Structure 1
Amino acid sequence: MSLRRIALDVLLEITQGGKYANLALKSALKSAEHSDAAWVSALVYETLDRLILIDYIIDAHAKGKMNPKIRGILRLGVCQALFMDTPESAACNETVKLTSEIGKGALKGFVNGVMRNICRTGLDSLKLPDDPIDRLSVKHSYPRWLAEEYYNKYGVEFTEQMLSYRHTGMTIRAQAPYTSAELEESLRTRGLPYMRGNLIPDAFKLERGFDVQNDELFTSGKLTVQSESAMLVCRACEPKRDMYLLDACCAPGGKTAYLSMLMENTGRIDAWEVHPHRAKLAENTLLRLGVKNAVVKVRDASASTDDGDGIYDALLLDVPCSGLGVLGKPDVRYAKSPETLDELSILQYSILSNCCKLVKVGGAIIYATCTVSSRENECVIDRFISEHKDFCAEGLAECVPECLKARVKNSMLQLFPHIDDTEGFFIARIVRKA
């Protein structure tokens, strides 16, 4: 089976079958050579990242209904010809060959004609829609409803900047007892270009990624991959030695591990996860990183609890969300709908309202998502505060770096990839008053 056939099968699993891109690629490439796997992954992710634009280009040259496999072949071919380093002639020829490989040889002429017309006209003559929302949707390959939501909230210029941002690097940190100084020396020795974090001193931002999961520093628990925004969420909990914390939605375990490190592996962290397989993932993360003070439990944070009143010093509620602020996951945006966000906001509110009494009076709840959607963020917090008079939103500005303090409003902060060079997390700090 050719690499392009593998890419096609993966793309169809995602676009037709609803499978997550990372899982589809992992399954398809488990026996592939590293360089081959990297190329297929790059092709699939680049195609997904520009999917709506690619379809817009295809539809300008091929009218009428199209077989999903043929559309998939053309999507990959157009991506290679217009957005990757593949020579146009090679992209055309290989796309035609792929048509035969899947048993659609009768359509070779059609595929060849469409590809050569697209290559001939290129991007220079492409006319995008005049409507500003349609234009944002097509140009940046975001579903129209989502482009409209961002347009209405942020305006065209800000939305344009946010949707056009592309991040290709990787952010890592050391896990104690391995130190940041030791990690920095290792990066220098390897010749890996990096910058220290703008928001979190523990963060090392690499210009390019590497095969981290097979790296000795990773497997031995000396380093882990974690965004600055995720680290900032943990620091907002103000973790200290001997505290008793709840991480109520803990998988895959990275935040629990960072909380543990900030607590110097003392005290206790209860780490809940509703899905058993993800709870196991969190356990493996904590084991790899040498965490001794956390206990993972399969628990549903949205269900009523009889654990007691006021037992934790602080709660971290990194609730399930749409993931629309996550970098490097273009498939996420196509799998969501306005109804999805409404359903998630109900779940998020349920988790917050069910867990809130577990924090001590004077203790803080850190509510976090990795999305820029108001209905999952500010709307959830505003509703909670209005319906729970013994809680108030306060104190977040004192927990964030100086460069972010002015952006904290009502103890809420929205991070943006194009401004902060990290994932688009939302963070709110709520304090129990009685």
Structure 2
Amino acid sequence: MRFHHNLLQATVDALHNIFNDGKYADQAIQRILKRDTRWGSRDRGFIAETTYDIVRYKRLYAAIANVKEPFKPADLWRMTAVWIVLKGHDVPAWEEYYNTPVRRIKGKFDELSAITKYRESIPDWMDEMGKEELGEELWNKEISALNQQADVVLRANTLQTDVKTLQEKLLALEIATTTDERFPDALILKERANVFQTELFQNGLFEVQDAGSQTIAPFAQVEPGMRVMDSCAGAGGKSLHLAALMENKGQIISTDIYNGKLNELKRRARRAGAHNIETRLIDSTKVIKKLDGKMDRLVIDAPCSGLGVLRRNPDAKWKLEPEFLDNIRKTQQEILQSYSRVVKPEGMMVYATCSILPSENDKQVETFLNSESGADFELLDSQSLMAHKDGFDGFYMALMKKKK
């Protein structure tokens, strides 16, 4: 493989922004990609994928390169050298790579690969927590799968098209996809492509949404004409899916504590042709009180550790702290306790997270059901998606029904 100095320089600069400046990986990469308009899709893909790969394996590569944070420019170049060697390529004869110890890199890799926290490149506390909650065998399988690059998955917007028609239209643009019977609205790209530039996306025929995430809205068993609340709606991926399943009939009340996210949801809803979505900012307890006992369905896509989506957010490993997890578990239970009141008798509620940890998932549901607020609910079903088994992001969802 022939390497270009300016592309690796861009990669080093992106890594500096992520590791030293604390920028989110996707934002740092997008900023770097705007640097040179002459870069083609292959160049841009190289920068993005190489950066993500080194972010994913930061601990391993840093240990092999014998460098520590905060990383100097020379340290980051060393880490790219490790990446090049471990990918089986020849190291370019550049000044930055002078005297690169290829044999030592390979030997150090073999040595460190026997230790999970280095092989999978995770903090000590995360490795200990994962083994404690899932058991060593299951944790090792899952964290390994979460270190793989995520597929690009589309959700056909059935308000505008169907899967077969969308698949044909994408193929006409030389974007080949496959289907999966487990996810009826999903199309999985065979090769990565910038689908956001297509007219199909701009006209609202599809959204980019992981297959695991696409299981949550159908799990709520919504029907046209229902009143549904999507709490913690964010930018609205689940709300848009709910609108399609409800055929634009009924009402979806999408709430969040961030007005910016709700504005993005409105923009996306207009593009998708979803007309039954109403946004409400949670700026006081009055919003929930007004909906007391009025909802046929409640979807809680709760804030969580995000460990199930590390494949697409690998830098989250380095931003997460144990204290955050303690706080987020409290928040999850508070949301369950307070939002559940909006469900009317014989209505149903989905509690979902993009986490693989039982302490954020079934244990939270168990705590809720054993509380005063949860006494009127019964658990109908629960489901866990694991990256190593299902091939997509890790998710958990529980369906609960309110008694008469």
Q: TM-score, normalised by structure 1?
A: 0.84
Q: CA distance change for structure 1 residues 303 and 340 in 2, over 3 Å: closer, same or farther?
A: farther
- Among 364, 380, 385, the alignment partner of 1:415 is 385
Q: CA distance change for structure 1 residues 431 and 318 in 2, over 3 Å: closer, same or farther?
A: same
- In 2, the alpha carbon distance for the partners of 1:414 and 1:302 equals 31
- In 2, the alpha carbon distance for the partners of 1:120 and 1:302 equals 62
User: Structure 1 residue 49 and structure 2 residue 56: aligned?
Assistant: yes
- In 2, the alpha carbon distance for the partners of 1:22 and 1:389 equals 39
Q: Secondary structure at the match of 2:289?
A: coil
- Among 353, 365, 368, the alignment partner of 2:349 is 365
Q: Secondary structure at the match of 1:255?
A: helix
Q: CA distance change for structure 1 residues 95 and 43 in 2, over 3 Å: closer, same or farther?
A: farther
- State whether residues 197 and 203 of structure 1, in contact with CA within 8 Å, keep that contact through their aligned partners in structure 2: yes
Letter in 2 for 1:197: D
Q: CA distance change for structure 1 residues 295 and 213 in 2, over 3 Å: closer, same or farther?
A: same
Superposed displacement of residue 254, structure 1? 1.5
Q: CA distance change for structure 1 residues 302 and 127 in 2, over 3 Å: closer, same or farther?
A: farther
Letter in 2 for 1:382: E
User: Structure 1 residue 288 and structure 2 residue 288: aligned?
Assistant: no
User: Structure 1 residue 145 and structure 2 residue 130: aligned?
Assistant: no
- State whether residues 369 and 427 of structure 1, in contact with CA within 8 Å, keep that contact through their aligned partners in structure 2: yes
- State whether residues 301 and 351 of structure 1, in contact with CA within 8 Å, keep that contact through their aligned partners in structure 2: no
- State whether residues 302 and 351 of structure 1, in contact with CA within 8 Å, keep that contact through their aligned partners in structure 2: no
Alignment correspondent of 2:141: 161
Alignment correspondent of 1:390: 375
Q: Secondary structure at the match of 2:290?
A: coil
- Among 222, 225, 228, the alignment partner of 2:211 is 228
Identity of aligned residues (%): 25
Superposed displacement of residue 29, structure 1? 1.9
Letter in 2 for 1:202: D
Alignment correspondent of 2:91: 89
Q: Secondary structure at the match of 1:242?
A: coil
Alignment correspondent of 2:394: 424
- State whether residues 239 and 262 of structure 1, in contact with CA within 8 Å, keep that contact through their aligned partners in structure 2: yes
Superposed counterparts of 1:106-145, under 5 Å: 112-113=98-99, 116-117=100-101, 119-123=102-106, 126-128=109-111, 135-145=115-125
Q: Secondary structure at the match of 1:394?
A: strand
- Among 169, 172, 177, the alignment partner of 1:194 is 177
* Matched pairs, number: 392
Alignment correspondent of 2:65: 58
Q: Secondary structure at the match of 1:330?
A: coil
Greater Cα shift, 383-392 or 350-359: 383-392
Q: Secondary structure at the match of 1:305?
A: helix
Superposed displacement of residue 30, structure 1? 2.5
- Among 229, 241, 256, the alignment partner of 2:224 is 241
Superposed displacement of residue 303, structure 1? 8.3
Alignment correspondent of 2:153: 171
Alignment correspondent of 1:99: none
Runs of 4+ in 1 over 6 A off after TM superposition: 301-304
Unaligned runs of 5+ in 2: none
Superposed displacement of residue 41, structure 1? 1.0
Superposed displacement of residue 9, structure 1? 2.5
- State whether residues 169 and 205 of structure 1, in contact with CA within 8 Å, keep that contact through their aligned partners in structure 2: yes
User: Residue deviations 1:76-95, cap 9 Å, x none?
Assistant: 23223323x6x4331x6263
- In 1, the alpha carbon distance for the partners of 2:123 and 2:69 equals 20
Superposed displacement of residue 129, structure 1? 5.2
Alignment correspondent of 2:11: 7
- In 2, the alpha carbon distance for the partners of 1:380 and 1:320 equals 13
- State whether residues 341 and 375 of structure 1, in contact with CA within 8 Å, keep that contact through their aligned partners in structure 2: no
Letter in 1 for 2:324: T
- State whether residues 234 and 262 of structure 2, in contact with CA within 8 Å, keep that contact through their aligned partners in structure 1: yes
Alignment correspondent of 2:29: 25
Q: CA distance change for structure 1 residues 76 and 354 in 2, over 3 Å: closer, same or farther?
A: same
Letter in 2 for 1:79: W
- Among 380, 384, 391, the alignment partner of 2:364 is 380
Superposed counterparts of 1:219-368, under 5 Å: 219-299=202-282, 305-326=288-309, 327-368=311-352
